[in-house]
Structure 1
């Protein structure tokens, strides 16, 4: 992976996802943990989109914690490097593709687009299921809003350069 292409916000989201997984005493990072990371990182397009839809951190965490399997060895998870589930690896790959398609650094908006993109097996990931269950959000609706935000940001940048 081209780590230099990742924005600081992207890195922060993934760190927040890891911290949340550790808080749940899990030994892996899955899509719902990335969703929490996106909600905790309060800047950028992804945060704006999720806020505009009324997505609330506390409500998402409550849903995750009510339905999440807990690591059951009795030993706390080790704070080292937690592996990503195959779904998260796919989301990360998709986010790189999204950024490459628009020829920009990989930001939280790309991570959100990767998160809501249909998986290779056609099944929704846990984060998408939570967004749909709690907020009736579909991947298409989220994608359109992210792209609209990116288009508006691009238009505003062009206007600023012209003035």
Structure 2
């Protein structure tokens, strides 16, 4: 599916993975997708989100608060590292060797997996792009997919930032229509 994404959409997804890792999460949720979209400059979704008052630092803070309130703490992949350690594999040493060979941060373990809500949002990305008659998926389609999915902590972050999902959807569709001319 990712082969149909535009470069900016791929960048946003990559940023969402980076956000999850930087926050010490071993999953990628809709909150991380939202952060990736806001952090992708320039991009249709990021531009519209910023116009709606969504600022990356504040969105990140809200995401952390929402996750902590749900009892989800940053584990930094420790359960996976512990499992490897029980097999005699030192993930820290692998990380050090990879950093030496490929540069700092080139290897991240574990790679976070997408939550069911994030998968659902990405699945809706396809239907949103097709509904607009487009074959490639841009950041706008990811955001529309997240809104269409109707669930996930990304929507909770938007609510905490007082962003109306219906108004946001309308703003994205207006921007898409304007860019099509």
Pair in the same fold by TM > 0.5: yes
Question: What is residue 31 of structure 1 aligned with on the other side?
Answer: 30
Q: Tell me: higher relative CO, structure 1 or 2? Use CA pairs within 8 A at least 6 residues apart.
A: 2
Alignment partner for residue 132 of structure 1, among 144, 147, 159? 159
2:14, 2:33 → 1: CA distance?
9
1:152, 1:15 → 2: CA distance?
27
Alignment partner for residue 142 of structure 2, among 88, 104, 111? 111
State whether residues 129 and 141 of structure 2, in contact with CA within 8 Å, keep that contact through their aligned partners in structure 1.
yes
Going from structure 1 to structure 2, the CA distance change for 1:93 and 1:22 (only over 3 Å counts) comes to same
2:3, 2:165 → 1: CA distance?
28
1:1-163 aligned at under 5 Å gives the runs: 1=1, 3-68=2-67, 69-72=72-75, 75=78, 78-104=108-134, 105-119=136-150, 124-134=151-161, 136-155=162-181
**What secondary structure, in the 3-state scheme, does the structure 2 residue paired with 1:50 have?**
helix
Whose radius of gyration is greater, 1 or 2?
Answer: 2
Q: Scaled by the length of structure 2, what TM-score is found? A: 0.75
Aligned length in residues = 149
2:48, 2:130 → 1: CA distance?
21
1:73, 1:150 → 2: CA distance?
37
Instruction: Give unpaired runs (5+ residues) of structure 2.
Output: 81-107
Cα offsets for 1:20-71 (capped at 9, x unmatched): 1111211110010011101111112101111111111111111122332224
How far has the Cα of 1:5 moved from its partner?
1.4
Question: What is residue 160 of structure 1 aligned with on the other side?
Answer: none
Instruction: Give unpaired runs (5+ residues) of structure 1.
Output: 156-163
